[in-house]
Amino acid sequence: MANLDLYATLARQLRADSIRCSTAAGSGHPTSSLSAADLMAVLLGGHLRFDWSEPRNPANDHLIFSKGHASPLNYALFRAAGAITDQELMTFRKLGSRLEGHPTPVLPWVDVATGSLGQGLPIAVGIALGAQRLLSAPYHVWTLTGDSELAEGSIWEGLDHAGHERLANFTAIFDVNRLGQRGPTELEWNLDAYAARVAAFGCEPIVIDGHDLAAIDAAFTRAKRAERPTVIVAKTTKGRGVSFLENKEGWHGKALDAEQEKRALAEIGDGPSRTFPTLKPDPWQPPKGPASRKPEWKTYREPVATRKAYGEALAALGAARADVVVLDGEVSNSTHAEDFKATAAERFFEMYIAEQQMVAAAVGMQVIGFVPFASSFAAFMTRAFDFIRMAAISRANLRLCGSHAGVSIGEDGPSQMALEDLAMMRAVHGSTVLYPCDANQTARLVGLMAEREGISYLRTTREKTPILYPDRLEDFRIGGSRIVRGGERDDAVAVIAAGITVHEAIKAADELKGAVKLRVIDAYSVKPMDAAALVEAVRVTGGRLCVVEDHWVEGGLGDAVLAALAEAGVAHDVRRFVHLAVRAMPGSGKPAELLDAAGISARRIADAVRDLARA
């Protein structure tokens, strides 16, 4: 039991440092740190196996602060492990410091950004899932959650999957300190209710006093030996260790002032801040799969849906690379992600209808070196927007695919139509947004996505589309575009389209043959946009442009084109700009009927072009 003294000393330092750094910052969450200090002291002092000098050691345990606002505790833990100095600890929340208000992977010991509650746990599930199923990894995945965030449905999506997959390498620690930001939580200290929920979702609850160091120690030991995922439901006190903070309302997210800090440190028993001995992992390397080879893309000559080409491209990737994993939200026979199973069934993850968990799991898997592709109907990607936004802050390399985009899906109606996905995905920091119009282009773009850093998004179409690029598999690039009709120096009007509307624009061009010299640009790279091609089109046509897209009028291709023109400094040269996009709420109907009703069919494009040519 010698460790208990060590734990107590360590907990004392974690408490003192949590207060010191937040007081220096003048903001932060000391009381939310104090409640979990004993839990983290025992974890760091006796259970977490982590090589602090080698944060990328593949044998390291993973520890994710799902309660990211307890960053003072997280950073105090890094300080106690010797990963950062006391000096750096005191830069908390200052401009340029790696110690941001909430943890981000700017720090090499942080896997992912947290701070939007209910996300760290589902991401930890993703790490544990990839580690157990594909790597048989020896490490354990720990995540610390607050109790307020247990109201987020995403927590239960995460535990549902942990339970279903029997992730014995996963342990969540619920820091049940009873107090949220503005008052008591829904369940306060009803630990039995939490335990019943955990058990009902297929995980093993371990209920303890979160300030009893011996009990915590025993719980962690039990958790590591369990054959199922475990959740330590720890009763704690917010502000624990400082009499005037303990279990007090009104102290959430407030730093102590200098005088309060002095009193608090006197109570805690501040000593010189030091580095503690911690456990290292045994050496281990992940199994090396076969060397990657060049994927053998299928070549298409007959009409095929881009969603089908997506699935077949995944299958080609699966055969060529051992690091690609595919996740889907129970619609893999629609997105065609299921085709991946033909070449790499063990790397296909069925996430059921839980898009938040799907994206979280993908984020987790890229933490441990996989190259994830995750798909659902494009409309349902909106379910995971907060996770996608946070993935950008996590500097995650993530590939998403949304199928069945636009009114062109037809009969299913507006709930299944994505008419806002381009707006959503353009507004993700550093994102790449691609929207292919034929199967060969799709395959090529999927290949580029596999190599791409950051978050990339592919928008696919339900309906079969003709093949435009039978022999040009190799020359697509992100940030490019293609002229698919016209291209002469005397083109009178340019239509800029992407995906399904490229085919409508081509039909319009054919209809107008002899009447209007029309250039049709396939702007498959919505972000980054091929500004040079736009500038050239403006120059050639005297600034007569028509953008046509199967998306709401806001935030999609039209906005992207205008922004690119403005950025290129040629807005002034745009004489006439017509934007055909979805402006009224669609209903059900046949794809062609809905394209026409929305004003984005070949006929409507031809009408617009005739007007433009006259102007």
> CA geometry: angle at 606 spanning 603 and 612, to 5°?
145
Kindly tell me which of 178 and 197 has the beta carbon lying closer to its own copies. 197
How many chain residues are in contact with its own copies, going by CB under 8 A?
114
Residue 567 Cβ vs its own copies, minimum distance, rounded to whole Å: 7
> Residue 96 interacts with its own copies (CB under 8 A)?
yes
Sign of the alpha-carbon dihedral angle for 510, 516, 517, 520: negative
Judged by CB under 8 A, the chain residues 54 through 83 that form the site for its own copies are 68
Instruction: Compute the 3-state secondary structure of the chain and give helix, strand, coil in percent, each to the nearest 5.
Output: 45, 15, 40
> Residue 611 interacts with its own copies (CB under 8 A)?
no
Kindly tell me which of 320 and 497 has the beta carbon lying closer to its own copies. 497
CB contact at 8 A, 599 and 583: yes
Give the three-class secondary structure for 274: coil
> Residue 389 interacts with its own copies (CB under 8 A)?
yes
> Residue 383 interacts with its own copies (CB under 8 A)?
yes
> Residue 398 interacts with its own copies (CB under 8 A)?
no
> Residue 385 interacts with its own copies (CB under 8 A)?
yes
Cα separation, 568 vs 110, whole angstroms: 38
Kindly tell me which of 258 and 585 has the beta carbon lying closer to its own copies. 585
Give the binding range for its own copies (CB under 8 A) out of 23-31, 51-59, 302-310, 481-489: 23-31
Of 312, 143, 119, 110, which Cα lies nearest the Cα of 234?
143
Residue 162 Cβ vs its own copies, minimum distance, rounded to whole Å: 12
Cα separation, 580 vs 453, whole angstroms: 32
Kindly tell me which of 429 and 477 has the beta carbon lying closer to its own copies. 429
Kindly tell me which of 42 and 191 has the beta carbon lying closer to its own copies. 191
Q: Say which residues have a Cβ less than 8 Å from residue 90's Cβ, sequence separation at least 6.
A: 20, 21, 24
Kindly tell me which of 174 and 380 has the beta carbon lying closer to its own copies. 380
Q: Is 212 exposed, middle or buried (0-12, 13-18, 19+ CB in 10 A)?
A: middle
- Residue 488 annotated to the active site: no
> Residue 153 interacts with its own copies (CB under 8 A)?
yes
Give the binding range for its own copies (CB under 8 A) out of 34-42, 108-116, 441-449, 512-520: 108-116
Q: Which residue has the tokens 């002095």?
A: 262
Residue 297 Cβ vs its own copies, minimum distance, rounded to whole Å: 25
Q: Say which residues have a Cβ less than 8 Å from residue 206's Cβ, sequence separation at least 6.
A: 219, 222, 223, 230, 231, 232, 233
Cα separation, 401 vs 457, whole angstroms: 6
Judged by CB under 8 A, the chain residues 166 through 205 that form the site for its own copies are 180-182, 185-186, 193, 196-197, 199-202
Residue 494 Cβ vs its own copies, minimum distance, rounded to whole Å: 14
Residue 397 Cβ vs its own copies, minimum distance, rounded to whole Å: 15
Q: What 8-state DSSP symbol labels residue 528?
A: S
**Phi, psi angle pair for 333, to nearest 5°:** -80, -10
Kindly tell me which of 103 and 486 has the beta carbon lying closer to its own copies. 103
Cα 558 from chain centroid (whole Å): 25
165, 204, 355, 420: the catalytic one is 355
Judged by CB under 8 A, the chain residues 238 through 297 that form the site for its own copies are none
CB contact at 8 A, 422 and 557: yes
Judged by CB under 8 A, the chain residues 450 through 469 that form the site for its own copies are none
Judged by CB under 8 A, the chain residues 551 through 610 that form the site for its own copies are 552-556, 558-560, 562-563, 565-567, 569, 571-577, 579, 585, 587-590, 593-594, 597
Residue 216 vs residues 40, 181, 239: alpha-carbon distances, Å = 9, 26, 18
Residue 520 Cβ vs its own copies, minimum distance, rounded to whole Å: 20
Kindly tell me which of 322 and 493 has the beta carbon lying closer to its own copies. 493
> CA geometry: angle at 330 spanning 423 and 365, to 5°?
75
CB contact at 8 A, 564 and 529: yes
Judged by CB under 8 A, the chain residues 335 through 354 that form the site for its own copies are 338, 352-354
Of the residues 6, 423, 448, 473, which one makes contact with its own copies according to CB under 8 A: 423
Site string for its own copies, 505-534 (x = CB under 8 A): ----------------------x-------
Of the residues 386, 511, 607, 611, which one makes contact with its own copies according to CB under 8 A: 386
> Residue 330 interacts with its own copies (CB under 8 A)?
yes
Kindly tell me which of 17 and 160 has the beta carbon lying closer to its own copies. 160
Of the residues 12, 15, 20, 28, which one makes contact with its own copies according to CB under 8 A: 28
CB contact at 8 A, 273 and 86: yes
Site string for its own copies, 109-148 (x = CB under 8 A): ----xxxxxx-----------------------------x
> CA geometry: angle at 239 spanning 157 and 173, to 5°?
25
| Length of the chain in terms of residues written | 615
Kindly tell me which of 111 and 160 has the beta carbon lying closer to its own copies. 160
**Phi, psi angle pair for 288, to nearest 5°:** -85, 120
DSSP H stretches of helix in 352-465:
355-367, 385-393, 421-426, 439-451
Residue 158 Cβ vs its own copies, minimum distance, rounded to whole Å: 8
Which sequence positions are flagged as catalytic?
Answer: 355
